[in-house]
Amino acid sequence: MAKKDDRPVDAGLAALRGKSEQEAIEFWKHRFGMIAAIPVDSARVGALTPQLRELVRIEDLPERKRLTAARMKAMLTLPQDVQDRIFKTRQAAFNIDRGVLEEDQKMVDELVPTIPGAQSIQDRMRG
1 within domain boundaries: no
What is residue 67's DSSP assignment? H
How many domains does the chain divide into? Answer: 1
pTM: 0.88
Q: What are phi and psi of 102, to 5 degrees?
A: -65, -40
7 within domain boundaries: no
For residue 25, the domain's CATH number is 1.20.140
- CA 103-68-12 angle, 5° bins: 105
Domain that holds residue 32: 21-126
CA separation (Å) from 103 to 23, 60, 64, 74? 24, 15, 12, 20
13 within domain boundaries: no
38 within domain boundaries: yes
Tens digit of pLDDT at every position of the chain (127 positions): 556 556 666 667 778 888 999 999 999 999 999 999 999 999 999 999 998 998 998 999 999 999 999 999 999 999 999 999 999 999 999 999 999 999 999 999 999 999 999 998 888 877 6
103 within domain boundaries: yes
